[in-house]
Amino acid sequence: MNTTDNSHLQFAREYALDRDCTTLSRHVLQQLQSFAPEAQDLSAIMNRIALAAKLIARRLSRAGLMEGALGFTGGINVQGESVKKMDTYANEVFISVFEQSGLVSRLASEEMEHPYYISENRPTGRYTLLYDPIDGSSNVDINLNVGSIFAIRQQVGTDANATAEDLLQDGHKQLAAGYVLYGPSTMLVYSIGKGVHAFNLDPSLGEFILSAENVRIPDHGPVYSVNEGNFWQWDEAIRDFIRYVHRHEGYSARYSGALVGDIHRILFQGGVFLYPGTLKQPQGKLRLLYESAPLAFLLEQAGGRASTGSQNLLDVLPDKLHSRTPLIIGSKDNVAMVESFIEERAREREEKMVGRS
């Protein structure tokens, strides 16, 4: 081939070779513009997460035909929730793919009371992986979309007592975060602080291939996504917001029971997802370190916002590994609108207090 002509480039473009060759690990290295050890580590970690996603996707796609894939284990997790067999399987998959990787020293997940230490990596692994192995697991038995959520943080302490206290830091400390959506196709969406990028699993290649680079969330969108069954459990301010969208044109409700799917829609089409506090659970249901904070990191990178209603979500300091926070996340105008209803009610309360004193 004549090395001075560009015919091979044209050929590659015509047959979409460039696109097909943009795999996840190559993309991470391109993003970091480096082959330094840190870049290689992050690329390798993303590659392992991709392997976990492929294993989980494979089992989900055949779950209805297999023994022991659907239903409950009979156990209750640290959250007090009944554990699904897929929760346990997916949790173990993440541990297995990182064991002997030399990449992370510990993993912490929704399904484990304490972090899992990979003993042989303790002196060398520089990172912690936080994850929710199956998000929305009530959807598994009815063959609807579910997800996995992940975040990578720098290992800071030696944490010999396994208290994980060094993990109790705000969401800005995340080095990378993302989710896997197991839907009609399996998608992986991630950010290492340089925009948000989406990959589709090409089953014929067994690789995640770049499908959308630098995804930007619309500033405003039509969707509001919330479990309205909790209406009378919420604070009046959230009810005000819901009454507002009921009375105004241009809003549509969408709620799948799996956060990852709902957020994915909002990321691409705009809108807001809410899981506010309830009377029974004032901090809501969603866990900060491996559900809300990774998604907040991702959506901020796409130009969106995440809030607890009174605080930027990425500023929240967890007080324990499985801390929960209310979550309002999505397009920045929609999130601001929900916050304005909350501020209005807070102002009213303050005025009443002043009036009384």
The residue ranges that bind ligand AHM (CB under 6 A) are 81, 110, 132, 135-137, 227, 257-259, 285
**Structure-token pair, residue 150:** 């992940």
For residue 84, the partner it binds in Mg ion, ligand AHM, none, with Cβ less than 5 to 8 A by kind, is none
Q: How far is the CB of 110 from Mg ion (least distance, A)?
A: 5
CB-CB contact of 145 with 256 (8 Å) = yes
How far, in Å, are 52, 136, 212, 228 from residue 69 at the CA level?
Answer: 16, 16, 32, 31
Burial of 251 (0-12, 13-18, 19+ CB in 10 A): middle
Interatomic CA distance for residues 271 and 225, integer angstroms: 8
**Residue 286, amino acid:** L
Minimum distance between the CB of residue 98 and ligand AHM, rounded to whole angstroms? 20
Q: Which is nearer to ligand AHM, 104 or 263 (CB)?
A: 263
Asked if residue 135 binds Mg ion (CB under 5 A), the reply is yes
Quote the least distance from Cβ 115 to Mg ion, whole Å. 17
Element holding 311 (H helix, E strand): none
Does residue 41 interact with Mg ion by CB under 5 A? Answer: no
Q: Which of 181, 206, 184 is nearest to 24 (CA)?
A: 206
Of 87, 111, 132, 300, the one binding Mg ion by CB under 5 A: 132
Q: Which does 258 bind (CB under 5 to 8 A by kind): Mg ion, ligand AHM, none?
A: ligand AHM
* Partner from Mg ion, ligand AHM, none contacting 137, C-beta within 5 to 8 A by type: ligand AHM
Q: How far apart are CA 112 and CA 243, in angstroms?
A: 39
Nearest residue (CB) to ligand AHM, 25 versus 331:
331
Contacted by 111, from Mg ion, ligand AHM, none: CB < 5 to 8 Å by type: none
How far apart CA 336 and CA 53 sit, in angstroms, is 34
Nearer to Mg ion, 137 or 155 (CB): 137
Shortest approach of ligand AHM to residue 23 CB, angstroms? 28
Binding site for Mg ion (CB under 5 A): 132, 135
